[in-house]
Amino acid sequence: MVANASELIVARPEGLYCPAGDFYIDPWRPVDRAVITHGHSDHARWGHAHYLAHTHSAGTLRQRLGAHIALQTLDYGEVIEHHGVRLSLHPAGHVLGSAQVRLEHGGRVWVASGDYKTEADGTCAPFEPVRCDTFITESTFGLPVYRWPAQAVLFADINAWWRRNASEGRASVLLCYAFGKAQRLLHGVDASIGPIVVHGAVEPLNAVYRAAGVALPPTHRATELDKAALQRALVIAPLSAQGTPWMKRFGADAVDAFASGWMLVRGNRRRRGVDQGFVMSDHADWPGLMSAIKATGAEHIRVTHGSVPVLVRWLTEQGLDAQAFETEYGDDDVADAAEPAPPPAPTAVRPEPVEGLAATGLRQAQPEQGGGSSTQAQGHGSESRELAKGGDTP
């Protein structure tokens, strides 16, 4: 790998900045040019003069930031060149349209992960590791205690919970974040158990997913069903609906649950005031972080929001150049639902080796050299374009 002669991405008060290209990645203050990894509100903010994002993020960004924002879109693997910096987007597996940002300049390759998870869920393009010299990774769940159940196990538990409640004539209210988790739940549950009701904050986002070709079962508004149907229904709603008059439609016997990665930690279910907790996250767990970092082949790691000190220490002990990047990103559930911050993470413990990483190290030599070729990164859309100042790009 090529050692860094200078930083291709630096932290500025506005956000993560590429000096050579004169643009920002997920900036938290208004800037002229912003490359957006995905539509969650802690990464996609209003006020930028020009936005660049993946094609499947267009619907969400326009819905949240306004129909007339100056938005340029790219497909995965399509390359543009701006001020000599080659830029392409690659699947992050987080939510619909989520992307890692690959930058190539002066013989160096950097990748900014945005938020990502490594297990495919059927609602967005699955995560693809991208070879690079420097990898900027999130660490939302960057502690070894965080290990997610397999999707098959998760949905078997959710379906059994819903089926049991329906047989007892009680509505099953499943609270979750409206963008990403709600659509994963809809895609994965057994819709034959009963009708599915969605909150008004969820259905517009369902429409974006359906327009992108994601299979979701039929959904209803609460006013469309009679009392008997509501008592067998699965209700998908954001946590902000908890305790509102809307919830009274489902009766005093309704059972509620919360789907979040934070449910893995003892006591969080009680803090959220729900009957049941399902461990479900759109972020990588500890093994996912380890496998993703190793797959990049990067020797230089920059760690953003989450359990930054723990992950930096662990990677440093593996012989990598690991440093922290200060950012203003947060947990999606909190950032977009205006909820209180998640409960404190469990006390940090010394990470255990994951699948032999302690023996091999994260920087084990790979057949390819130099952070991956330009041809690899171009994918199906190799025609270079300049990063536009504003407006849509066909």
Structure confidence by residue, pLDDT tens digits, 187-218: 999 999 999 999 999 999 999 999 999 999 99
Task: State whether 95 and 137 are in the same domain.
Answer: yes
Residue 257 maps to a domain: yes
Task: State whether 177 and 125 are in the same domain.
Answer: no
β-strand pairing of 15-18 with 23-25: antiparallel
Residue 390 maps to a domain: no
Task: State whether 88 and 161 are in the same domain.
Answer: no
Domain hosting residue 162, numbered range: 151-278
Residue 118 maps to a domain: yes
d(CA 195, CA 259): 19
**In total, how many domains does the chain have?**
2
Kindly state the tokens that stand for 205: 């986002």
Task: State whether 55 and 171 are in the same domain.
Answer: no
Structure confidence by residue, pLDDT tens digits, 79-90: 999 999 999 999
Task: State whether 139 and 286 are in the same domain.
Answer: yes
Task: State whether 180 and 33 are in the same domain.
Answer: no
Task: State whether 258 and 347 are in the same domain.
Answer: no
Structure confidence by residue, pLDDT tens digits, 324-335: 988 777 655 443
Task: State whether 339 and 318 are in the same domain.
Answer: yes
Q: Tell me the average pLDDT of the chain.
A: 85
Task: State whether 272 and 351 are in the same domain.
Answer: no
Structure confidence by residue, pLDDT tens digits, 94-103: 999 999 999 9
- CATH code of the domain containing 36: 3.60.15.10
β-strand pairing of 276-278 with 108-112: unpaired
Task: State whether 320 and 307 are in the same domain.
Answer: yes
pLDDT at 87: 98
Please enumerate, as own/partner, the contacts of 260-267 that have beta carbons within 8 Å and a separation of 24 or more: 260/176, 260/177, 260/181, 260/333, 261/140, 261/141, 261/146, 261/148, 261/285, 262/331, 262/333, 262/342, 262/343, 264/145, 264/146, 264/147, 264/148, 265/145, 265/343, 265/345, 265/346, 267/343
d(CA 202, CA 198): 6
Tokens 């986002």: give the residue.
205
Is the pLDDT at 350 greater than 60? The verdict is no
Task: State whether 173 and 259 are in the same domain.
Answer: yes
Structure confidence by residue, pLDDT tens digits, 16-41: 999 999 999 999 999 999 999 999 99
- CATH code of the domain containing 239: 3.40.50
Residue 2 maps to a domain: no
Structure confidence by residue, pLDDT tens digits, 125-180: 999 999 999 999 999 999 999 999 999 999 999 999 999 999 999 999 999 999 99
